[in-house]
Amino acid sequence: MTDRIPSAVPGPGELSEAELAQRLQARRQWLGDTDFAYDPPLEPVRGDGVYLFDSAGQRYLDMHSTVPSMGHGHPEVVSAIAAQAATLNIHARHLNNVVEAYAARLLGLFPAPLGNLVMTCSGSEANDLALRLARLVTGGKGIIVTSGARHGSTATTAEISPGLGQPLPAHVRTIPPPDPSLAKGAALGPWFAARVREEANVLQKTGAGFAALVLESGFAFDGVFTDPPGFLTEAVSAARQAGGLFIADEVQTGFGRTGMFWGFSRHGVVPDVVTLGKPMGNGYPMGGVVMRAQHLARLNASAPYISGCGGSPVAAAAGMAVLDVIETEKLVRNAVRSGEALRKGLRRLARSFPRIAAIRGAGLLIAVDLVMPETGAPDPGAARRAINALQRNFVLVCSATPCGHTLQLRPPLSISAEQVAQFLEIFGGVLATLE
């Protein structure tokens, strides 16, 4: 860890406790209380590939960020943004070759009949528009989501995000995550589909009607559930039989994260609507809703989607550069390989450390459950201590499950075999010292 970079910015690592308190106080004055990712908070000042650097020049292996899937500060994406922003950045109500070429290329990555695109400024806006579409098309209002899901920060998407901890309105019904241990020996697909049918019935009985089943393709906020491949098939059929659309939220899993270009492909299903965000612009704020032609026509007939910045040529240029990078650097294949190496190494660690109760995931979306070795009970305290110990060892991971006993590993898709080995070595050391 010798990559010390010069910086005039004092980071928390260099501040005394009193100075840090003063810095936090100043921040609180303008921005209110921040839900910091680490305690004490980290202050990265530079990013490069899979690494973040703090103001002291200390390098951190980033196994945490979901937005810069192509790597921090990817030069090709940055250049594309800079060049297009200097040339033309304008709203979407003109002809524009960059935007049209991006739409054509992106949509070429989807199965029929998913052939139309609306571009937004965020994944939240994409999910928000998808809900509007589903309600317009079905005439129903009710939505089914998993109990830990988060689908966005607009009023409408926060309403379908039980993972945010707010009370849900009556027209939002939750089902348990597709966790094989909950199915108690039953086949996961039919068990999960039965939950969808039950809640669709409830929605129809209450008069809310059923508009859509909205599932994040990797169930990241529920704790990552990706196996067995294909388990979504029955649930999707059940949703359609009940008159609802199936909306695949690919804000986290899209663009190669799970070792396939789209998370839903793992299950052999074709969604009615797909929503995109985070990695789409590798940090440039953009999102998208992919749908079939007649749904877009229906939406436009209701009210055209107007956005000052959504669908701009700069967003398209960023998106195009992301697709180029994925292709040139073979990132989907790397997600498969590095993901396999990571899970293999984790399974090896699990043989030595009974704290690891389960390893789940696909590609580079991986969950590790930590439990009490004696009882096997979920141990969120151990997860918290592991996250902080990893940070002290300059590795960033996070926990994103309702119970908090699950570590999530989701590094940039460009992570190398050496960096995977480096992580496993440090994680082994942390597990060895974990109280």
* Burial status of residue 74 (CB atoms within 10 A of its CB: 0-12, 13-18, 19 or more): buried
Is the CB of residue 343 less than 8 Å from the CB of residue 362?
no
Q: Contact letters (x/-) for a second copy, 260-289, by CB under 8 A?
A: -----------------xx----xxxx---
CA distance 248 to 239: 12
Among 3, 4, 22, 34, binds a second copy (CB under 8 A): 34
The reply to whether 432 sits near a second copy by the rule CB under 8 A is: no
Question: Whole-number minimum distance, CB 77 to a second copy, in Å?
Answer: 8
Question: Could you count the other beta carbons within 10 Å of the beta carbon of residue 330?
Answer: 14
| Cβ-based nearer residue to a second copy, 127 or 334 | 127
CA distance 247 to 127: 9
| Cβ-based nearer residue to a second copy, 132 or 330 | 132
Question: Whole-number minimum distance, CB 82 to a second copy, in Å?
Answer: 4
Question: By CB under 8 A, what part of segment 326-365 binds a second copy?
Answer: none
| Cβ-based nearer residue to a second copy, 264 or 284 | 284
The reply to whether 81 sits near a second copy by the rule CB under 8 A is: yes
In angstroms, the Cα distances linking 251 to 256, 265, 282, 349, 418 are 11, 14, 12, 31, 28
Question: By CB under 8 A, what part of segment 134-173 binds a second copy?
Answer: 150, 153-156, 158, 164-166
Q: Where are the alpha helices (DSSP H) in 207-292?
A: 233-241
Among 30, 351, 392, 433, binds a second copy (CB under 8 A): 30
| Cβ-based nearer residue to a second copy, 47 or 256 | 47
Q: How many residues bind a second copy (CB under 8 A)?
A: 102
First to last CA, the chain: 27
Question: DSSP class of residue 248?
Answer: E
The SS3 assignment for 276 reads strand
The reply to whether 185 sits near a second copy by the rule CB under 8 A is: no
Checking phi first, is residue 361 left (phi over 0); if not, alpha (psi -120 to 50) or beta? left
Question: By CB under 8 A, what part of segment 293-322 binds a second copy?
Answer: 293, 296-297, 299-300, 302-312, 314-315
Among 21, 26, 170, 186, binds a second copy (CB under 8 A): 26
Residue 171 structure tokens: 């027209």
The reply to whether 11 sits near a second copy by the rule CB under 8 A is: yes
Alpha-carbon dihedral 149, 155, 157, 159, rounded to 10 degrees: 50
| Cβ-based nearer residue to a second copy, 69 or 192 | 69
The reply to whether 72 sits near a second copy by the rule CB under 8 A is: yes
The reply to whether 241 sits near a second copy by the rule CB under 8 A is: no
The reply to whether 3 sits near a second copy by the rule CB under 8 A is: no
- What are residue 88's phi and psi, to 5 degrees? -160, 125
| Cβ-based nearer residue to a second copy, 143 or 389 | 143
